[in-house]
Amino acid sequence: MSENSETPTAKRRKAQVVSAAAECFRRDGFHRSSMSRISAAAGMSSGHIYHYFARKEDIVEALVAQEESELALLVHDVERAAEHSDVVSAISDLAERTAERYMDREHAGLAMEILAESVRNPEISKLIAESDTDVRRSFETLLGERTPESVSRCALVASLLDGLSVRSIRHPGVAADIDRVMLAKVVRFMLTA
């Protein structure tokens, strides 16, 4: 990458590549999404993409970082909400508000594609594991002292939310079946039982 890779134009172009790659990964899968397909979807030459990303794995790294950044904003929202109510209420409210994100088929499809690639690619597996650990630790910290019980509670809530993504792939109508208020109650129970 060149020195100017962080100019506003470069940031916009990198985002354009990441967005195009996400669409290609969702539609064609990771392996069928060549750099030439990604460049066509981004509306730029392959050479131009290599100016920003040396390889597809670097694009996946950018996608994982983008997801982690979005989740960090959600954690920040919970921290702010917890200042005015209890942490458990803030987390269960967050689960209710973000259910759509987990049940969105496009979001879920991309997540599943990246997870599938992480099974075959140790580098991507490491990225996913590190990102998951960072987000999980943020929620564990919100719950107070890190104990085996708080670790388990966070793992259960994460598994429930990740499971919504899996269900959205297996059963496209799941979003209509899930009562958001009930979801918040289940998360509250998982955090307090």
- In this predicted model, what pLDDT tens digit does every residue of 50-61 receive, in sequence order? 999 999 989 998
Asked if residue 81 and residue 29 are part of one domain, the reply reads no
Please give the Cα distance from 173 to 170 (Å, whole number).
Answer: 9
Long-range contacts of 15-19 (CB under 8 A, 24+ apart): 16/42, 16/43, 16/44, 17/42, 17/44, 17/49, 17/52, 17/53, 17/59, 18/59, 18/62, 18/63, 18/66
pLDDT tens by residue, 1-44? 444 458 999 999 999 999 999 999 999 988 899 999 999 999 99
| pLDDT at res. 96 | 87
Asked if residue 38 and residue 27 are part of one domain, the reply reads yes
**CATH code, 45:** 1.10.10.60
What letter does residue 173 receive in the DSSP assignment? T
The Cα angle at residue 75 between residues 71 and 79, in degrees rounded to 5: 165
pLDDT tens by residue, 161-178? 999 999 999 998 888 999
| pLDDT at res. 1 | 46
Asked if residue 150 and residue 66 are part of one domain, the reply reads yes
Residues 6+ apart with CB under 8 A from 7: none
pTM beyond cutoff 0.75: yes
Percent share of the chain, pLDDT over 90? 49
Asked if residue 149 and residue 81 are part of one domain, the reply reads yes
